[in-house]
Chains A and B, each alone.
Chain A
Amino acid sequence: DMKVTQMPRYLIKRMGENVLLECGQDMSHETMYWYRQDPGLGLQLIYISYDVDSNSEGDIPKGYRVSRKKREHFSLILDSAKTNQTSVYFCASSLLGTSSNERLFFGHGTKLSVL
């Protein structure tokens, strides 16, 4: 069963608190991604991970960090969350990030509200 699982689905935090968003996949995919989605902006790439401890900044990495200690797990961390980080966060995975026939699998998303 090919699946990307995100936890939690909904989260409310106060400004300044730390936030941990977790993502898991059961397909042994090498590459994993964190995107955020905001109205009118589509999906914006925060970080991409090519394998364990092989992470690369995306387009909007400021204010975020990631951790990938196992191939099947990719975490997004917000140290001292800000109100402008209120968004819906999507995790995705793919077998290889540069394959010519790459299909991304997405999780359901985590809706984060920072008050």
Chain B
Amino acid sequence: GQQVQQSPASLVLQEGENAELQCNFSSTATRLQWFYQHPGGRLVSLFYNPSGTKHTGRLTSTTVTNERRSSLHISSSQTTDSGTYFCAIWTGGLSGKLTFGEGTQVTVIS
């Protein structure tokens, strides 16, 4: 079954609005990461957040491992935040691999 599920699938924001993206996963041993994909395709790592809360700029990630969920909060959204946000978990034990969710497409309009 699906190991990583993200919601919503897409989101439209007015510039300045806040948003919360959700990620649910099937394993408690996750080493969860959040990625951002630019509209042009480039993928960048945002957070490595296996548990707890982390901040960078206007982004906050909170992972509650025993509830198998993580969220990404975007505050005061800007048009440059538009793109697709993926969460991913490590699966497969020692010789692991990163398994991605289907992503949340965010569009911020001015």
A interface, CB within 8 angstroms of B:
33, 35, 40-45, 48, 50, 56, 58-59, 88, 90, 92, 97-98, 100-106, 108-109, 111
If the complex has contacts A45-B97, A88-B41, A97-B95, are A102 and B102 also in contact, measured as CB distance less than 8 A?
no
Query: Which B residues are in CB contact (< 8 Å) with A103?
Result: 33, 45, 48
Flag if A42 contacts B86 (CB, 8 Å). yes
With A58-B97, A102-B31: A108-B41 Cβ-Cβ less than 8 Å: yes
Cβ of B96 < 8 Å from any Cβ of A? yes
Contact A43–B41 (Cβ < 8 Å)? no
Contacts of B43 in A (CB 8 A): 90, 92, 104, 106, 109
Whether A41 and B102, one on each chain, are in contact in the complex, defined by CB atoms closer than 8 angstroms, is yes
Contact A104 B45 (CB under 8 A): yes
B86 surroundings in chain A (CB, below 8 A):
42-43
Are B95 and A102 in contact, CB atoms less than 8 angstroms apart?
no
Q: Which 7 A-B pairs have the closest CB atoms?
A: A106-B43, A42-B102, A43-B100, A42-B100, A109-B41, A103-B45, A45-B97
A-B contact pairs, 7 of them (CB 8 A): A33-B97, A43-B88, A50-B95, A56-B95, A102-B31, A103-B45, A106-B43
User: Within 8 Å CB of B94, what residues of A?
Assistant: 98
Say if the beta carbon of B44 comes within 8 Å of chain A.
yes
Q: Which residues of B contact A33 (CB under 8 A)?
A: 97-98
- Give the distance to chain A from B21, nearest Cβ to Cβ, in Å: 14
Given A109-B41, A109-B42, A104 contacting B102 (CB threshold 8 A): no
Decide: A98 and B95 in contact? CB cutoff 8 A: yes
Residue of B nearest to A47 (CB): B97
